[in-house]
Amino acid sequence: MSATPAAQTSRAPGAAFIFKKSLISALVALVLFSLMIGVRTEAGSDGQLTYWTRFGDLAAIVAAVFGGSIIIELLRQWWGPVETVRVVPAPVQSALSLAGRFVAPVLLVFTFLVPVLFYDERYILDLGILVLTYVMLGWGLNVVVGLAGLLDLGYVAFYAVGAYSYALLATNFGLSFWVCLPLAGILAAFWGVLLGFPVLRLRGDYLAIVTLAFGEIIRLVIINWQSLTGGPNGVTGIPRPTLFGIPLTPGDDGLAAMLGIEFSPTHRIVFLFYLILALALLTNWVTIRLRRLPIGRAWEALREDEVACRALGINTTTTKLTAFATGAMFGGFAGAFFATRQGFISPESFTFHESALVLAIVVLGGMGSQLGVALAALTMIGGFELFRGLDQYRMLVFGMAMVLLMIWRPRGLIGHRAPTVFLQRQQAISSDLVKEGHG
Amino acid sequence: MDYFAQQLINGLVLGSIYGLIAIGYTMVYGIVGMINFAHGDIFMIGGFIALITFLILVSFGLTAIPLILLVVLLVSMAITALYGWTVERIAYRPLRHSFRLAPMLSAIGMSFVLTNYSQVAQGARVKPVPPIITGGYTLHEGAEGFVVQLSNIQIIVVITTIVLLGLFTWLVSSTRLGRDMRACEQDQTMASLLGVDVDRTISMTFVIGAALAAVAGMMYLLYYGLVDFFMGFVAGIKAFTAAVLGGIGSLPGAMLGGLLIGLIETLWSAYFSVEYKDVAAFSILIVVLIFLPTGLLGRPEVEKV
């Protein structure tokens, strides 16, 4: 797919062309931002709207767009036409498999060592817990989206079901975290099946919108069913987790006293870190094992071609329902963990934004690649944290990053696939060739 | 009965606004086959631009309300259409031949960008406007003193919707652009072989969809008297629900779906509970899709191997 020399010369436009193009961009920007940036409205104390102008900001932004588009055009010329590679070339493939072989264990060992290395840095430990939570959610959703090819935009519903199951069971009946964890998983899986039934016949975008609606329904019910869930105020006083019954408190029966060491609040953080790491690794392990079972093969077959699947006698109903249930179960586990970590949950934590974030992690991770999902979660959540100082610009930057990453790598950061089943030799292909399923 | 009639009127007005937004979803879906998640936010931007234009005009001392409305309508349609064009150009065109999830995620990202852009640019607080169009007609006075009213603004919303819908149906069925759009909907490769500029047609689809969303945004502003940066999300989901309910890709379907969603929402709030009105709308979407997976007026999708 290389361009002909003639095409290449015509692809190298002159300075005048670049100038003209940038001028058009600047003009478009001027019109776009003229009212939204150039004029600022605010309701005064008496409810009367007033406005004032900000032409300086407007000029700065338009100038930035002009300069930016010149730079982009120059970069584009310098880069040259983009070639499409279908089968990943052998050297890249071997490098990738080498990296894959080493990156995963190195990352794993590093993750295990994080609480040791950064014992005194509470911020890094908290961030690590957050990243691992999203890694787990990503791996859970990966079963539904990456393996079975069912587009789920309401994954946060199961996260919420898990969190509220634990929170309500623990605060109302005093059940311990270790009893509630499986219960939360089972309840979430139950909801997964409940959602799965109506959407069995739906495909693609219909499935997307129904799952989105389902996520919203769960959130709205949580907000409005005040007698059970506390409504917008949420559930407070959720018990902290214990090490199989031994609390991590400064008291005499606490873990610190038992081990004869001095108590420190960091112990609990470290414990939470290893807890979510264990849960995430469990998710990963189960997924990897399931992929080798007939059900996992059926998921991947379903993603590639549903009609062919049915023709081969695969029961698509159970295949879809198990995918939903399995994904939902891991979401429920993660939710229970979230509740016990926070000690407080409210419907605000379970908005569509979370679903979109987890879906972005799965897609950026290359849809189905376990390592990719982990790396994408690290990139997204870590990157999101980097911009914490920017406050209200943070979501703006996040949205832009999502758009740019999609344009740059639509197939995810790790855009290649190693097949689960192969004839003579394992050959990785670009994930352009992998279908995404029709839901 | 009077109460019901009043709710019916309110529901139809709300449904018209949803229908206008839903047309944008359904057109884009028909041609490009993607959910334009940013469309709800385009609607919100339309509302904001209408508000700002209105403020500027009033501060310049304009008092003729019909003139103000016309200028506000044209300005907000023009600028919002440019937003639609830019969003397509930046976020969707590079991904046109990519796999299906990529433009969808890009659209979700774009939706975040637009929401937060207007929050940063215009602040997070709700922007109220005083009622611009007042007055109305009393249709019926009930025995218990309950009055069925039809306000002027409601008439304007419904008439604007009907006029735009008629204009738009004419555009799609009888103009060169409409023919190109229908051709692209069926087969983009074949259309481009026959001399249809596919890129331009798709851009125009986004432009028209955004312009209609701007009208909806302005109607929303007039009807409810406020805009805020977050209103695009819920309105967007409901309008998409309407598009799916009516059968995605079908223009009359989008309008019908919009009216149904508006009616369901209003009647549910009137007779059951206001809190659960969104739950009702979404539940009905799910129920309809179980029994009619292609929506009310949609064509069944042919499965090919």
pLDDT band at A316 (very low <50, low <70, confident <90, very high): confident
Give the range among A103-112, A237-246, A285-294, B254-263 with minimum mean pLDDT: A237-246
Q: Is residue A87 part of a domain?
A: no
Q: What is the pLDDT of residues B55-84, one digit of tens each?
A: 889 888 877 888 999 999 999 999 999 999
pLDDT at A88: 59
Contact A403 B90 (CB under 8 A): yes
Q: Are B58 and B67 in contact (CB under 8 A)?
A: no
Q: How many CB pairs under 8 A join A and B?
A: 189
Q: CB distance B125–A42 less than 8 Å?
A: yes
In a domain, A432, yes or no: no
- Better-predicted residue by pLDDT, B67 or A104: B67
Query: By C-alpha distance, which of B213, B256, B171, B232 is closest to B24?
Result: B213
> What is the tally of structural domains in chain A?
2
What pLDDT is recorded for position A82? 59
What SS3 state is found at A245?
Answer: coil
Q: Is the pLDDT of residue A312 over 60?
A: yes
User: Closest Cα of chain A to B232: distance in Å?
Assistant: 13
Question: Is it true that domain B2-291 has CATH number 3.10.620?
Answer: no
Task: Give A 165-184 residues with CB within 8 A of chain B.
Answer: none
Domain ranges of chain B: 2-291
Tokens at residue A419, please? 């097949």
pLDDT-derived band of residue A67, with 50, 70 and 90 as boundaries?
very high
Q: Work out the average pLDDT over B22-38.
A: 87
Kindly state whether A72 is in contact with chain B, defined as any CB-CB distance less than 8 angstroms: no
CA distance A188 to chain B (A): 19
Residue A129 placed within a domain: yes
On whether residue A420 sits in a domain, the answer given is: no
Lowest mean pLDDT among A175-189, A369-383, B109-123: A369-383
Q: How far is B201 from chain A (nearest CA, A)?
A: 19
What's this model's pTM, rounded to 2 decimal places? 0.86
pLDDT of B301: 61
CA neighbor of B37 nearest in space, from B153, B115, B142, B154: B115
User: Band of the pLDDT at B285, cuts 50, 70, 90?
Assistant: confident
**Among B159, B166, B154, B176, which Cα is nearest to B224's?**
B154
Give the pLDDT confidence score for residue A3 in this predicted structure: 42
Confidence grade of residue B16 (pLDDT, cut at 50, 70, 90): very high
pLDDT for residue B210: 94
H helix intervals, A118-263: 122-142, 156-173, 177-199, 204-224, 226-229, 255-259
Stronger pLDDT, B175 or A98, i.e. the higher one: B175
Q: Does residue A12 have a pLDDT over 70? A: no
A360 plus A227 within the same structural domain:
yes
Same domain, A203 and A253: yes
Question: Could you give the ipTM of this predicted complex?
Answer: 0.85
Structural domain range at position A16: 5-79
Write out pLDDT tens, residues A268-303: 888 889 999 999 999 999 998 998 899 998 998 888
Kind and range of the H or E element at A75? helix A55-79
**Domain boundary pick from A53, A79, A105:** A79
| Nearest CA distance, B23 vs chain A (angstrom) | 16
Please list every residue in chain B whose beta carbon sits closer than 8 Å to the beta carbon of residue A221.
276, 279
User: Could you tell me if A345 and A307 lie in one domain?
Assistant: yes
CB within 8 Å: A36 and B240? no
Average pLDDT over residues A383-387: 79
Query: Does A251 touch chain B if contact means CB atoms closer than 8 Å?
Result: no
Encoding tokens for residue A313? 């006698």
Mean pLDDT of A315-344: 92
pLDDT confidence bin for B145, thresholds 50/70/90: low
**Are both A15 and A107 inside the same structural domain?**
no
pLDDT of A1 reads 38
